[in-house]
Amino acid sequence: MSGDKKPEAPSPRFAMDASLGDSELSHRLLVLCATMMAIPAFFWGGIYAYFGEYKAAAIAWAFTVISIATLFLFRKAKGYRLLRESQLFLTLMLPFLVMLELDGFINSSAVIVWSLISPMGALVFASRKTAIYWFVAFIFLILIGAAINYHAPALEKGLPPELVTILFVMNLSGVSIVAFILLVYFVTQKEKTYSLLEMERGSSENLIRNMLPEAIGERLKQEQRPIADRLDNVTILFADISGFTSYAMNRPPEEVVSLLDRIFSHFDNIISQHGLEKIKTIGDAYMVCGGLNDDAKAGANEAAAFALEIMTYVKQLAQASPEPLGLRIGINTGSVVAGVIGHSKYSYDIWGDAVNIAARLQQTARTGDILISEKTAQLLENAFTLKPQGETGLKGHTPVVTYTLLSKSIGG
């Protein structure tokens, strides 16, 4: 089957590229944050060493060396997880060890606040569940620090009070900067996710609009099931490309599908200019209907105008083809049952004797003719030029009075 509506949707390749792009961005941000912490740690170590706190300096420098080593070892994307876990652990533990060496919160200028970056980083780079574990570990270290601070004399290690104050400012400012960067990234990713969700929602709504009438789509989004209606005075049109079977037998598949797609895509474009609803394609047959909005006269008139337009288009197309291609159209108006079937692949369809008559009219029509029933003709009134055909026998159905639709009437 060809010619069905094919709504645009994000390609798997695009989705995969977007996923890779997010992973690469996360890796780069993690490297940036690790670097932003490793470089200050080096200078912190220098300050501690200058004032004789060599063990604290060694811890700070160890942080820098280990961070740079992990950045080098896990620099590729496939090492992202190892880099993340190692940085979370280093960020949590090494500031705590410095605090232990300097005897508590105050003496260390609250250096342990750097450990807060660990659960924040886990929230951004891992998951909420993982972040909770790291946060609990951080709180536990804070409690240990509080106990140490309670028993430690102020400035036991001999750091000048002015330096302690400066380090307080530097620690709080440094943590705030890194935390702010992580928060900006988190918010950016959140907005990006919302944007992608909105795009997916738009794609889903476009899919529904292309597959179903607008009113039916709204009911489906409200989870109204089953969707089934009895509709009166619906005009059904069947159009079949005559000569297409022999054409397809003598052409490569790509050429056959390309022609059918070209024809039915043009039909789709014409439908968009009329108040009609495409139901489906069956091989080289095309089915539409009008009057679903209870306006029987408008539905019949739009179907007739559509029939004349596509007939003209196929005749022009046939002039450039070596094969004798043509169009046969049948139109009928009557009562139908309409509804949505399926759960994973929705399909809106109509059933009833009126549909069968329209299909039989198309089968009975000669190539180049538009054969319509008497009921449809009555709705057209004087807007179109019709040629009476009298009673016409239909295969598998009782005869019906028919007309050939010739053209629009002047001023109609």
Q: Which residue has the tokens 């597959």?
A: 211
Task: Tell me, yes or no, whether 76 lies in a domain.
Answer: yes
Whether the Cβ atoms of residue 285 and residue 240 lie closer than 8 Å to each other = yes
Say whether both 255 and 126 belong to one domain.
Answer: no
How would you label 66-90 residue by residue, b for 16+ Cβ within 10 Å and e otherwise?
bbeebbeebeeeebbeebbbbbbeb
Task: Tell me, yes or no, whether 146 lies in a domain.
Answer: yes
Say whether both 175 and 30 belong to one domain.
Answer: yes
Task: Tell me, yes or no, whether 327 lies in a domain.
Answer: yes
Number of separate domains in the chain:
2
Say whether both 287 and 180 belong to one domain.
Answer: no
User: Of 173, 204, 235, which residue is a domain's last?
Assistant: 204
Say whether both 126 and 176 belong to one domain.
Answer: yes
Supply the pLDDT for residue 50. 85
How would you label 1-10 residue by residue, b for 16+ Cβ within 10 Å and e otherwise?
ebbebeeeee
Say whether both 280 and 392 belong to one domain.
Answer: yes
Residue 15 has pLDDT above 60, yes or no: no
Q: What are phi and psi of 154, to 5 degrees?
A: -60, 135
Q: How far apart are CA 63 and CA 76, in angstroms?
A: 21
Supply the pLDDT for residue 7. 41
Which tokens is 13 given? 């390749």
Task: Tell me, yes or no, whether 236 lies in a domain.
Answer: yes
Task: Tell me, yes or no, whether 214 lies in a domain.
Answer: no
Which tokens is 357 given? 């008559």
Task: Tell me, yes or no, whether 216 lies in a domain.
Answer: no
Strand 347-351 relative to strand 326-341, pairing: antiparallel
Task: Tell me, yes or no, whether 211 lies in a domain.
Answer: no
In order of 67, 101, 140, 316, the CA distances from 145 in angstroms are 24, 11, 9, 87
Q: CATH no. for residue 373?
A: 3.30.70.1230
Task: Tell me, yes or no, whether 46 lies in a domain.
Answer: yes
User: Of 172, 204, 236, which residue is a domain's last?
Assistant: 204
Burial class of 385 by CB neighbour count within 10 A (0 to 12, 13 to 18, 19+): middle
Strand 276-282 relative to strand 384-394, pairing: unpaired
Predicted confidence band at 22 (pLDDT cuts at 50, 70, 90)? low
pLDDT in tens, 289-341: 988 887 889 999 999 999 999 999 998 888 877 667 889 999 999 998 877 76
Please give the radius of gyration of the chain, using alpha carbons only, rounded to the nearest integer.
37
User: Of 169, 204, 239, which residue is a domain's last?
Assistant: 204
Predicted confidence band at 13 (pLDDT cuts at 50, 70, 90)? very low
Whether the Cβ atoms of residue 399 and residue 374 lie closer than 8 Å to each other = no
Which tokens is 334 given? 């009557």
Residue 405 has pLDDT above 90, yes or no: yes
Q: Which residue has the tokens 């410095």?
A: 98
Supply the pLDDT for residue 35. 80
Say whether both 193 and 240 belong to one domain.
Answer: no
Say whether both 168 and 136 belong to one domain.
Answer: yes
Supply the pLDDT for residue 125. 80
Supply the pLDDT for residue 204. 61
Query: pTM of this prediction?
Result: 0.55
Identify which has the larger pLDDT, 234 or 209.
234
pLDDT in tens, 53-98: 888 889 889 888 988 888 887 766 567 788 888 888 988 888 888 8
Say whether both 162 and 271 belong to one domain.
Answer: no
Which tokens is 390 given? 């009298």
Say whether both 135 and 237 belong to one domain.
Answer: no
Q: What is the mean pLDDT of residues 173-190?
A: 77
Say whether both 150 and 256 belong to one domain.
Answer: no
Identify which has the larger pLDDT, 90 or 227.
90
pLDDT in tens, 195-206: 777 777 666 666
Supply the pLDDT for residue 224. 60
- Domain range for 137 is 12-204
pLDDT in tens, 335-381: 988 777 666 666 777 889 999 999 999 999 999 999 999 999 999 98
CA 28 to chain centre: 26
Say whether both 324 and 240 belong to one domain.
Answer: yes
Say whether both 238 and 335 belong to one domain.
Answer: yes
Angle at 7 between CA 6 and CA 11, to 5 degrees: 100
Q: How far apart are CA 100 and CA 107, in angstroms?
A: 10
